[in-house]
């Protein structure tokens, strides 16, 4: 699939990995729609990118918001690519805290919804839109979807029971979605990043950053958002990659804490 001139939807596109990916793909000729809750930041990025970029405010948990984002892409070009970066965790908590109190149920539900349910909603609605399009290319491909998990989905740390469970769900979703959507000519892959140096880390103490970087076998640094974006581009354009999860982590394996 050639992304040049084709439409790509990036959820969580107003910050972090989503922003880096939107900028990267737009720079390579894709028609990009950023979909995010942060209207001020998303609008500013789209205006900065200029022609071939747009922003839609909303939540991946809302069918209506997601449909509006899909429609915005289709006004620019056929929807051929989706990058699901929306997610996060407002705070961490143990299954039982030090006083023996159980993890707050609503916090768990909220984090799973933000990461896993929102990703699933993105997949099902964008796949439906892609399936209605004519194939593009000799293989009958209609589009490609890239999900964002985390290495916390493999070895979540203490306090990451909700986040780790949600990201593990995305990892498990990958092969099933790829098999489900194969008949429609839609590929699905996932990136599971380790510690990537987005702007969120700018607020962290230098000692904390150094401690995380020291645990990465090689290269001994944070990953760069552009390295994530470059991998996403490859997963979109390489037509034989399907149903796979790719760790992007410098060979780190998270310690318990």
Environment class of 237 (CB within 10 Å of its CB; exposed 0-12, middle 13-18, buried 19+): middle
* Ramachandran angles phi, psi of 56, nearest 5°: -130, 125
d(C-alpha 240, C-alpha 107), whole Å = 39
Q: Are 208 and 165 in contact (CB under 8 A)?
A: no
In 113-215, which residue ranges form alpha helices assigned H by DSSP? 118-131, 152-155, 161-181, 206-214
Q: Are 19 and 26 in contact (CB under 8 A)?
A: no
Q: How many angstroms separate the first and last alpha carbons of the chain? A: 41
Q: Are 13 and 232 in contact (CB under 8 A)?
A: no
Can you name the residues that pair with 79 across neighbouring β-strands? 7
Extract the tokens encoding 181.
């959507």
Examine the residue annotation and report whether 163 is marked as an active-site residue of this protein. yes
The SS3 of residue 210 is: helix
Q: Are 160 and 111 in contact (CB under 8 A)?
A: no
Whose tokens are 């609503």? That residue is 106
Could you say which of 24, 108, 120, 163 is catalytic? 163
Residues annotated as catalytic (active site), given as ranges: 163
């Amino acid at each position: 699939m050639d992304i040049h001139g084709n439409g790509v939807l990036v959820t969580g596109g107003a910050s972090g990995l989503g922003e880096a990916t939107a900028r990267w793909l737009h720079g390579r000729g894709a028609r990009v729609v950023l979909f995010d809750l942060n209207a001020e930041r998303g609008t500013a990025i789209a205006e900065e990118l200029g022609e071939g970029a747009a922003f839609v405010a909303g939540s991946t948990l809302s069918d209506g918001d997601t449909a509006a984002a899909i429609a915005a892409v289709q006004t620019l070009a056929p929807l051929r690519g989706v990058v699901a970066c929306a997610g996060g965790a407002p705070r961490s908590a143990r299954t039982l805290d030090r006083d023996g109190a159980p993890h707050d149920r609503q916090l768990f539900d909220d984090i799973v919804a933000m990461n896993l349910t929102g990703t699933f909603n993105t997949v099902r609605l964008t796949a439906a839109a892609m399936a209605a399009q004519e194939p593009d290319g000799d293989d009958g491909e209609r589009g490609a979807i890239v999900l964002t998990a985390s290495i916390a989905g493999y070895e979540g740390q203490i306090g990451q029971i909700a986040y780790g469970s949600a990201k593990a769900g995305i990892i498990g979703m990958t092969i099933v979605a790829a098999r489900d959507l194969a008949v429609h000519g839609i590929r699905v892959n996932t990136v599971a990043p380790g510690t990537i140096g987005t702007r969120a880390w700018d607020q962290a103490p230098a000692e904390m950053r150094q401690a995380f970087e020291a645990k990465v076998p090689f290269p001994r640094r944070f990953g760069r958002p552009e390295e994530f974006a470059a991998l996403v581009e490859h997963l979109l354009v390489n037509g034989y990659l399907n149903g796979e999860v790719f760790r992007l982590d410098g060979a780190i394996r998270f310690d318990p804490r």
